Structure 1
């Protein structure tokens, strides 16, 4: 009696796994995608270079440059829009505020250097006159005073500092803010930089003339030193 050979059963695979294998075979794309590693290619992962001219104009209007704008991510904290501004000549600063306990983390970016020699200066914000101690902490510099603490690190020619009051912000939270700090991508720049009608060159992001004009202060007289005259009645009831 001739026996009909039986096909051996295939190993049992979960439905999703089997579909994944079939998709790879049909699409011939298995293993070709690379995961984004934090700190590597992060700028590209945040979007294409769209509207860069407009963003640069908004940065100039603020008094800073695009490569000075850094952001961070801390659970429970949000950047206060009114705190965003220029630091020093052309640096950047902003304050992240906790939604619950009122804790604040100040982020400051400026040109300079921080190392073992330049670690105990300058003073930490909120601790004027207090002695500053400094220690290396996994690639960061941890600076402490009696009432405040700060993490600082070097990125090219820039120093990024994140400082806070020791009573309201734990060192673990401040360390996380420092490790998460990075140069802002296009979407982050758009969210952080104040909106303006035109950049400092008088053009908006589309190349059109800006609408920023001089503040009206009255008519210019035809005689005298040329100082503007206030409209009638404007100075009534005021001294001088």
Structure 2
């Protein structure tokens, strides 16, 4: 293998991992859909210094999606994705394709899409406004094939009779 081919292969391997740190596992996607989240609203963002806390993933409102990104020092940024028109509370400024808001000590950037919006929310000043905007506007659907995993098979108990009332077989012992 030539040096040029080796370098191209190495670049492909390194670049294939870029941006994949915040992808959701299929198990977490399945969990969210079982909670009523619409699969097309399950998103991830790239937020420098923060990682997705998979245990935080869940439903918001009727079919929306929510998750929390955490920093090593314990700071958190909440992400919410939902349908409908975006309504702003507090001081709102149009910024690109979305809205920047400050209200009650919190800041938020909402990237507005044709049929839904992606919001990133945190305490005011915790994340630079431009970084928050870039992350929200760069939100992308979570990795997954969109097909939920099949439910687990029932457990074979072995103590249920094949006929009768279906009560477990409980042989009597001494004294009973």
TM norm structure 2: 0.63
Q: How does 1:75-90 map to 2 (within 5 A)?
A: 75-90=48-63
Aligned to 2:134: 176
Shift of 1:57: 5.2
Q: Which runs of 5 or more residues in structure 1 are unaligned?
A: 1-15, 21-45, 47-51, 121-131, 191-197, 213-240
Distance 1:139 1:81, change over 3 A: same
Structure-1 separation of matches of 2:68 and 2:85? 22
CA deviation string 1:192-218 (max 9, x = no partner) = xxxxxx96xxx43xxxx6348xxxxxx
Structure-2 separation of matches of 1:75 and 1:138? 20
Aligned to 2:82: 110
Shift of 1:176: 2.6
**Count of aligned residue pairs for this structure pair:** 134
Q: How does 1:39-118 map to 2 (within 5 A)?
A: 58-100=31-73, 102-114=74-86, 118=87
> CA-atom RMSD, angstroms?
3.2
TM norm structure 1: 0.48
- Would you say the 8 A contact 2:107–2:125 is kept in 1? no
Distance 1:167 1:119, change over 3 A: closer
Q: Which runs of 5 or more residues in structure 2 are unaligned?
A: 6-19, 21-25, 156-176
- Would you say the 8 A contact 1:71–1:184 is kept in 2? yes
Shift of 1:56: 7.4
Q: How does 1:70-219 map to 2 (within 5 A)?
A: 70-100=43-73, 102-114=74-86, 118-120=87-89, 132-186=90-144, 203-204=150-151, 210-211=153-154
Matched position secondary structure for 1:83: strand
Distance 1:61 1:103, change over 3 A: same
Shift of 1:81: 1.5
- Would you say the 8 A contact 2:29–2:144 is kept in 1? no
Highest CA radius of gyration, 1 or 2?
1
Aligned to 1:222: none
Distance 1:163 1:57, change over 3 A: closer
- Would you say the 8 A contact 2:32–2:59 is kept in 1? no
Deviates more, 1:147-156 or 1:171-180: 171-180
